[in-house]
A and B are shown apart, each in its own frame.
Chain A
Amino acid sequence: MEGVKVLDLGVGIPPANATRLLGSFGAEVIKVEPPQGDPLRMSGPFLGDIPNAETSGFFQYLNVNKRGITLNVVSGRGRRILKDLICWADILVEGLGAGKLDGLGLTYGEMESVNPALVAVSITPFGQSGPYREYRGYEIQPYAFGGPMYFTGNPEREPVNAANNVSDLHTGLAAATAGMVAFHRAEATGEGDYIDIAAAEVQLGNIDRRAAKLLAYSYTGVVGDRNLDHMGIGSGPFPCADGYVNLLGGEFGFDRVCRLVGREDLIDDPRFNTPEGRRDPANIEEISGIIISWLYGKSKLEVWEMAQQSRVLSGVVNTTEDLLNDDHFWERGMWTKVNHPVAGEMTMPGKSLKMFRTPWQLRSAAPTLSQHNADVYCGTLGYSREELSKLRQTGVV
């Protein structure tokens, strides 16, 4: 992505993640923060649990490989500067809220007139159109509304969310992806595009079961249930000596699980050899009991290896500590160390995918607040030092 210029207008996790991804493969990213800083700077975890705008681990992770400037886009002067930045950019990503850019006088038509090749990506919870376009949504609302929440959990209880940030980071990845689709065309034709990303629609189309169930409803008119035994008999996290292992039984793996626990005899047992028998709660409980007894005293990594030898689709249930202590991921280069002038040395996720010729790069730590003001305003946009100090005095930057 060398030579591609990306403008991160914030706010929130999705735009930060989208621009992080583009920057990590070589794009030049300018992150625009309000003069008081991106609110994400005050979101934890903080080094030593002491809140500090320069030591949020999550902010640091989301903003590597970016230059950072401050700009009050609400002021008239600020808006004119923003327009200069829009002329500079190839791709703009923003999550200010539905219609907010329009409110600043920056409709796509206006931006297009100064930069016809601009790819602008707007991210909102519900989209730029439709009756809920201005509805407030944090991460959980689009997930509840669009995503797989309804059928996730115990049927006797409330449906449950994914872990914090998972959906927001995913929306950011979707924004980077959509931006690349439009940018592919923009490079070929010279014509940019405007992308309207609704986090709720990313969730509606999500292959994490939701999309399939929405189509199945069109086919059958049946709403699937919320069910903890979803993957069927012999499936699910089971306790062992030092934690849990997750095995896949059910229609696809029951025979393999039986072989794993040394009970081939159960495969053809008339109680278990029909789909109906395999769904009987009493039968499921019996099989779970057999598996749990077999697991007694065995460690999760030991079981995982045995399960794999029996071709059982499986995984261990790791805590974050287990994950960070597993050689596999260190040897593969999953973790990277980043040095930051205030936060010091931090270990964070690095290479998440490998492009063999154009690999992921760490070029710089996250910017400190307003770190690159002079660099960007004078170097990139060509303002004089005097102009910059005037902007400072008037609170524009």
Chain B
Amino acid sequence: MARLPLEGIRVLEITVVWAGPHSCQMLADWGADVIRVESTQFLGTTTRTGLMKPGREYFRMMIEMGYGYAGMYPETRAWDRGALFNTHARNKSSMTLDVTRREGLEVLMDLVSKSDVFIENNMPDTMKKLGLTYAELKEHNPGIIMVRMPAFGLEGKYHRYRSWGQHVEGVAGHSWLKGYRDTDISQRPESNQSDAGAAYSTVMAVLMAMRHRRRTGEGQLIEIPLCENFIPYLAAPIMDYTMNGRVRSSLGNGHTSMAPHGVYRCKGKDSWVAISVGSDEEWEGLCRAMREPEWARDRKFRTVLGRWQNQEEIDVKLGEWTVTLTNYEVMERLQGVGVGAAPVLNEREAHADPHIKARGFFERVNDPDLGVHDHVGFMWKMAKTPNAIRKPPAHLGYGNEYVYRELLGYDDERVRRLGEEGHIGTEPAPHIP
């Protein structure tokens, strides 16, 4: 197999929740040596679920929410088994140290001097307290590229504010602009698109900074606030306001110019299809597929504007037609006449879909501790550098041998001492609940 494109780049991450880990997942996927710096003294709120021994009730709740664990109700090492963590932990190594103590910080700085990139998405003040600012890192490695992903920025009146993706999206204006158009905001569902957005921007910016470093020798600090990174996703409504003073609200499943455009019920339990008609030819195709020659003749539906103005009338009849067919039948019939239609897939359907299978999206991963499972694959394909998941999700501390021995070259005595002092380990300290 060809060398992966990012081989030779070493990345350290001290990351929590989703945005930070997801960015490092992509760097690891494409060949970077990503080391997840963790601690046996602290499990992180949601990162490794934060609970050393979740009870049966907790596992059941997570299963019902769709975030179950390998082994369903695992009796050991729950922190290595949750889907919320394992999704982004493949291809990485996990090492442990307690960065709140001097010896731990020394180890970390040894690692910084051997790395290219440092990525973190903690509260800005947390990093300051730990002495993990760009200025500190630069002392140990002038070429280091540091990415910081605060919610609202390293400076400014909200820089201390704590938020997850869904809160950030409320601030950015997304929560207001999405969801059902006929209900109030409390009926609008969560979304965490801003986490993924910041993750991709991180990878893009890191590689731009690597290029700058190749040409000049200079590293740099990169700040990617979740909120500011996400705001441009709403450029159209923002410019409608700045140019026209208009404050938009949600379109639900509708569209600013297409109609019909929506999600329609199909035969079977909780089964749906997304349909869009973007042109007159597509409208004619839809009328043919539905055997509605009257619609095709009706003048009021002939133009984009006419269909848009009469979309409710179209939606009712279209929904009466889709409910007589399965979601896949609707897709096949409409795609057959050149109309955009796709089933709204649940997880079971996605794993079974013939197209997703033919593309080889899911990757079978054998984890000696967890068994064989189909993992989410790569978000794009590269012709010259085909890819496969190289390592199962990083279990806590399983990379210690690699990091302390191979990379840092510490001797037996130092490794033993760091183990006794609670830096090196593969299990959370007993005091963690």
Interface positions of A (Cβ within 8 A of B): 1, 21, 25, 43-49, 57-58, 60-62, 108, 126-127, 129-132, 135-138, 140-146, 148-155, 157-166, 169-170, 173-178, 180-185, 187, 191-198, 200-202, 204-209, 211-228, 230-231, 236-239, 244, 246, 248, 251-252, 274-276, 279, 304, 308, 311-324, 327-329, 331-332, 334, 346-349, 351-358
Contacts and interface: CB of A to CB of B under 8 A. Distances in A.
A320 B228 contact: no
A191 B204 contact: no
B275 to A, nearest CB: 8
Task: Give the one of B87, B273, B373 with max A CB within 10 A.
Answer: B87
Contacts of A182: 5, 382, 385
Contact of B339 (A136, A151, A226, A354): A136
A150 B358 CA distance: 22
B13 to A, nearest CB: 14
A252 B255 CA distance: 36
B344 to A, nearest CB: 4
Interface string B353-392: 1111011011000000000011111111111110000000
B243 A140 contact: no
Contacts of A356: 220-223
B425 interface: no
A206 to B, nearest CB: 5
Nearest to B373: A218
A181 B361 CA distance: 19
A30 B302 CA distance: 37
Contact of B63 (A43, A46, A222): A222
Given A251-B58, A354-B223, 16 more contacts: A130-B358, A135-B331, A138-B276, A145-B353, A154-B187, A159-B344, A163-B234, A164-B177, A165-B236, A169-B235, A176-B200, A207-B88, A230-B65, A275-B61, A321-B241, A352-B201
B99 interface: no
A308 to B, nearest CB: 5
B76 interface: no
Interface residues of B, number: 168
Contact of A177 (B203, B270, B282, B350): B203
A198 B359 contact: yes
Contacts of A191: 384
12 contacts: A43-B256, A45-B246, A158-B272, A160-B253, A194-B382, A195-B382, A207-B19, A213-B67, A217-B351, A227-B65, A239-B185, A320-B238
Given A138-B258, A195-B381, A320 B176 contact: yes
Contacts of A153: 179-180, 189
B283 interface: no
Task: Give the one of A192, A225, A237 with max B CB within 10 A.
Answer: A237
B242 A347 contact: yes
Contacts of B136: none
A144 B241 CA distance: 29
B72 interface: yes
B232 interface: yes
B170 A150 contact: no
A152 B165 CA distance: 15
